[in-house]
Chains A and B, each alone.
Chain A
């Protein structure tokens, strides 16, 4: 089998000085896979995602991304350029006054000039069918628009892997369908944290449940 994009071995995390949140988590994500992570509230799903991009430091175990074992901040900075993380609350992610500026943020950080960043950002908005939002102000967008814009702000960096944290949170049926069809068309491998069973079944190629004692394969291991 081809090398995994991200593989995690015996990962564990605990808040400082407290009991383990989870430990013994191991899995591998391969190209083209869409892995769903289920689990109860507070079991550490969001924390797991933030460990993968080095926003928090694991207490035990190892993370290997794109063939490199990652431990230092510098190694994770490189990972973040190839892994797009869509946060649970779009208001955490869209921090610029206007949508276009927000989309330009990532590409500029990747080293593009402003003009190039504007070009690729407009193209990305076009591609997702939201070109009309370019000059809108982030806080005036609807929940569904915010979600698509956060996705755009990450996709515009052309990541190899997407991490999605509760992407259907607070979306109505229409916005949810639109998000699903957008995600299904993307080539990227994904890790999706979600409570939305129907959504996960339509999207994921594989799913597992996070428990304090590690990742468990679900009753139905492979979905479609």
Chain B
């Protein structure tokens, strides 16, 4: 189910991840670079350059040590949406005819736009996966905080990271206890009511737990400030990488401008 899946995703995301060859770089650099990379991809107009960016993004994923299987699965999920659009756009965008099916004309312009969007999305997502996706979730929170993202939002992210698994576990235990009593989901009132109870109970338990968590925090002197530690150290190679990539990205964008 959805919840189980997302918690599994965070599990993979969060922890024992080393970031491959990119691990040595400061997370702040990675976050800035992923934004710069996405901007450059969107700004260049030529299809060839967008394709090049997509290749660079995917190579970064490999360098970042993202397992091939996971990389392929995520890219496949993205391209699933994209293929649909590449198939439909030629029929909806006017332009020189490419071919006709049963009175419908597919246009070159539409195909061109579709491919452009596909390459842009692939490049941006690959860049994000390699640079931001390789950060453990708590480091991402610390990085956002160091960029001045409001403390409350960061606390929300951190607490979500922390408790997704607990809530997911509670959900799985309740779900299993339903199955242990011979519950099989179907399309009937009993299923709807039972799933309604499951969701409702999940919410109630979450509220209850949130209150206990707050109590425990108050017991240790919580006064509304969520402490965030900054363990990063900006080093020379971060500066070099930042300057080099800024130069390349700006150069490519300027060069591609008419």
Q: Which residues of A contact B (CB under 8 A)?
A: 50, 53, 55, 77, 80-81, 83-85, 87, 89, 91-98, 100-101, 104-106, 108-110, 114, 117-118, 137-140, 153-154, 157
Among A91, A92, A101, point to the contact of B138 (Cβ < 8 A).
A101
Partner of A101, one of B166, B213, B229: B229
Q: Which residues of B contact A89 (CB under 8 A)?
A: 212
Chain A, residue nearest B221 (CB): A109
B219 contacts the other chain (CB 8 A): yes
B210 to chain A, nearest CB (A): 9
Q: Are A153 and B220 in contact (CB under 8 A)?
A: yes
Q: Can you name the residue of chain A whose Cβ is closest to the Cβ of B216? A: A93
Q: Find out whether the CB atom of A139 lies under 8 angstroms from the CB atom of B221.
A: no
Which B residues lie at the A interface, using CB under 8 A? Answer: 14-15, 136-138, 141, 158-159, 161-163, 165-166, 209, 212-213, 215-223, 225, 227, 229-230
The answer to whether A109 touches B223, judged by C-beta atoms less than 8 angstroms apart, is: yes
Contact partners of B138 in chain A: CB under 8 A: 96-98, 101, 137
A95-B162, A97-B158, A140-B15 are contacts. A55–B218 as well, Cβ < 8 Å? yes
Q: Does more than half of chain B's interface fall in helix, strand or loop, or is it mixed?
A: helix
Nearest-neighbor residue (CB-CB) of A163 within chain B:
B219
Q: CB-CB < 8 A to B15: which residues of A?
A: 137, 140
* Separation of A138 and B162 alpha carbons in the complex (Å): 7
Smallest Cβ-Cβ distance to B166: which chain A residue = A91
- If A87-B212, A157-B220 are given as contacts, then 17 extra A-B residue pairs at C-beta distance below 8 Å, sorted by A number, are A53-B219, A85-B219, A87-B216, A91-B163, A92-B209, A92-B212, A92-B215, A95-B162, A96-B158, A97-B158, A97-B162, A106-B221, A114-B229, A117-B227, A137-B14, A139-B162, A153-B220
Enumerate chain A residues within 8 angstroms of B222, measured Cβ to Cβ: 105, 109
- The 5 tightest CB contacts between A and B, nearest first, are A109-B221, A97-B138, A106-B220, A92-B212, A139-B165
Is the beta-carbon distance between B216 and A95 smaller than 8 angstroms? yes
User: In the complex, how many angstroms separate the beta carbon of B168 from the nearest chain A beta carbon?
Assistant: 10
Kindly report which residue of chain B lies nearest to residue A93, judged by CB atoms: B216
B219: chain A residues at CB < 8 Å are: 53, 55, 80, 83-85
B215 and A55 contact, CB distance less than 8 A: yes
Given A50-B215, A95-B159: A139 and B166 interface contact (C-beta under 8 Å):
yes
Q: How far is the CA of A137 from the CA of B141 in the complex (A)?
A: 14
B161:A80 contact, CB within 8 angstroms? no
Q: A109, B220: Cβ atoms under 8 Å?
A: yes
Chain A residue numbers with a CB within 8 Å of B141 are: 97
Question: Assuming A97-B137, A140-B15, is B216 touching A85 (CB within 8 A)?
Answer: yes
A56 CB to nearest chain B CB (Å): 9
**Is B227 in contact with A108, judged by CB distance below 8 angstroms?**
yes
Q: Distance (Å) between the CB of B65 and the closest chain A CB?
A: 19
How far does the Cβ of A78 sit from chain B's closest Cβ, in whole Å?
A: 10
How far in angstroms is the closest Cβ of chain B from A92?
Answer: 4
Would you mind naming 27 contact pairs between A and B with Cβ atoms under 8 Å apart?
Answer: A50-B215, A55-B219, A85-B216, A87-B212, A91-B209, A92-B212, A92-B213, A93-B216, A95-B159, A95-B163, A95-B213, A95-B216, A96-B138, A96-B158, A97-B14, A97-B136, A97-B137, A97-B138, A97-B141, A104-B227, A104-B229, A108-B227, A114-B229, A137-B14, A137-B138, A139-B162, A154-B220
Pairwise interchain contact A80-B221, C-beta atoms closer than 8 A? yes
Candidates B159, B213, B227; contact of A114 at CB < 8 Å: B227
Q: Which partner residue on chain B sits nearest A101 by CB separation?
A: B229
Complex Cα gap A92–B163 (Å): 9
**B215 CB to nearest A CB, Å:** 5
Q: How far is the CB of A156 from chain B (nearest CB, A)?
A: 9
**B216 to A92, Cβ gap below 8 A?**
yes
A87, A105, A139 — which one has the most chain B CB atoms within 10 A of its CB?
A139
Residues on B with beta carbons closer than 8 Å to the beta carbon of A55: 215, 218-219
Structural contact, B221 and A97, CB atoms closer than 8 A: no
Q: How far is the CA of A117 from the CA of B225 in the complex (A)?
A: 15
